[in-house]
Amino acid sequence: MIKAILARLKQGHRTTTYPDQPATLPERFRGYPELNATVCPPDCRVCADLCPVGAIGCGGKLSIDLGKCLFCPDCAEMCPHGGITHTTDPRLAVNRREDLVVAAGEERRLAQALEKKMLSLFGRSLKFRSVVAGGCNACEADTNVLSTIGWDIGRFGLQFVASPRHADGLWVTGPVTENMREALMLTYEAIPAPKIVVACGACAINGGPFIGSPAAHDGVEGLLPVDLYIPGCPPHPITILDGLLRLLDRME
């Protein structure tokens, strides 16, 4: 016991300081994009043609759909005009699907807090039941790490539970394969109302790299009402944490 205490004192405080202090991520991290349409010729479609999931729009206004984006570096590296760059800003979560479409020159949109009644219910304690609806386990891994000492989301009243009967919301990862559709719907029905739904990762939002597959439903959109979209492939733990804290009005 004494050795354990001494080791803990030597290790010091390991939990992230976010949101009390700004997140510092390495230069290689690809976060919120910066778009500069003024350098791109009107007829240029190099980056749009390169995108494997059709996330980039060039029809009159340069845009990126973060719900589809896999955050690969191809568009930024291959754009001959430098119209697309990625910052290291991990704040990406939004409340509405359309807010994931980032267009050059438009105001940035971030997730907003739940309405007053829902916030009074879940503001201090919010529990999720996770459903892995055909995912590759990348989003699941970055979600699970939030319960470790490095992140400790329990300090914000956030927790993942084993039973939908104990949950306040549904946490969806994966493109919602046909084999998982019924399990997803039954889990949602088992969660007591009122409840919320979070789509975590590109697959859950829009199908990710599996978009258009006859074996999947291109995410949870159209099957269930979504309260928070967290883009990424996979989303960084800070991206996930930031979205949840904004949803609960806990950023101040």
Percentage, residues of the chain above pLDDT 90: 73
Reply yes or no on whether the pLDDT at 1 is more than 90: no
What is the C-alpha end-to-end distance of the chain, expressed in Å?
Answer: 38
The mean pLDDT of the chain is 92
pLDDT value of position 83:
85
In angstroms, the CA 37 to CA 40 distance is 5
Strands of 228-230's sheet in order across: 158-160, 126-132, 169-173, 196-200, 228-230
In angstroms, the CA 222 to CA 46 distance is 31
The answer to whether 54 and 68 have CB atoms below 8 angstroms apart is yes
Return the structure tokens found at 9. 């004192």
Reply yes or no on whether the pLDDT at 11 is more than 80: no
pLDDT value of position 18:
92
pLDDT in tens, 140-166: 999 999 999 899 999 999 999 999 999
Q: Which pTM does this prediction carry?
A: 0.93
Range scoring the smallest mean pLDDT among 52-66, 95-109, 126-140: 52-66
pLDDT value of position 78:
82
Range 116-247 classified under CATH 3.30.70.360:
no
Give me the half-sphere count of Cα atoms (radius 13 Å) on the Cβ side of residue 12: 2
pLDDT value of position 117:
94
pLDDT in tens, 215-235: 999 999 999 999 999 999 999
Domain ranges of the chain: 116-247
